[in-house]
Amino acid sequence: MANTAASQNKKLASALNFVSFLLLNLTEKEREEIKQVLLFDSKVFIDSLNGKLGSRITEIARQFAYPIDFSVGKIEDQKKTTQAFVLYSQLQLHQKAGTPRTLISWEVIKPDSKRVLLNKRLFGYVQFGKSYLGLVQKYSADKLGKGCISVPTPYAQQFLKVFQEMKIPIVVKEVLEIA
């Protein structure tokens, strides 16, 4: 019994890694085509608004560290199944109050040149009298303290991509801001 649970956890972790990798490598427009991603037993199913993403997803899957069993299509065309894990969904819950925000925090960054580059990308800079906006100003994010920002959830991917490109470890939390 413990072996089965460990095997299921390993499948789930691998599928979540793949979905994260996939979403980071798709363009925003391509991500909008994905309605949801489900895990049926050991197969990842990508519910697409139209079936045009199959070849693009196959291309990205080839770059993934481990082989993954997946299919792309419409959920309505799939056989009925009793259980599936929802790995990703664009379904929006109706909220009475509050704005979804993503908190991103990081520790001290070494070397200093890497820290300065991150600060320029996030907060902007002025050079020779010309101002360059950072992501914080561009997307109405808030600096909460040293090494912590609050980002409107729809724009979180732009920020996460910067941290990934610079290989900076972060902690991400989803919160609901009530004004």
Residue that has been written with the tokens 């009475």 in this structure? 96
Reading phi first (left if > 0) and then psi (alpha if -120 to 50, else beta), residue 124 is in left
What is the extent of the structural domain holding 40? 2-89
Q: What is the distance between the alpha carbons of residues 62 and 72, in angstroms, rounded to a whole number?
A: 15
Task: Look at residues 104, 110, 108 and name the one whose alpha carbon lies nearest to residue 122.
Answer: 104
Question: Which pLDDT belongs to residue 8?
Answer: 74
Task: Please check whether residues 57 and 119 belong to one and the same domain.
Answer: no
Task: Please check whether residues 14 and 79 belong to one and the same domain.
Answer: yes
Task: Please check whether residues 13 and 85 belong to one and the same domain.
Answer: yes
* C-alpha angle 165-171-176 in degrees, rounded to nearest 5: 115
Whether pTM exceeds 0.85: no
Whether residue 125 is contained in a domain is answered as yes
The pLDDT tens digits for 50-104 are: 767 888 888 998 998 888 888 888 877 776 666 788 888 876 555 556 788 899 9
Task: Please check whether residues 130 and 79 belong to one and the same domain.
Answer: no
- Specify the higher pLDDT residue, 81 or 126: 126
Q: Please give the backbone phi and psi of residue 31, each rounded to the nearest 5 degrees, phi first.
A: -60, -35
Task: Please check whether residues 11 and 45 belong to one and the same domain.
Answer: yes
What total number of domains does the chain contain?
2
Task: Please check whether residues 75 and 111 belong to one and the same domain.
Answer: no
Task: Look at residues 80, 99, 85 and name the one whose alpha carbon lies nearest to residue 150.
Answer: 99
Whether residue 94 is contained in a domain is answered as no
Task: Please check whether residues 134 and 79 belong to one and the same domain.
Answer: no
The pLDDT tens digits for 2-57 are: 567 677 778 888 888 898 899 999 988 888 888 888 888 778 888 887 767 888 88
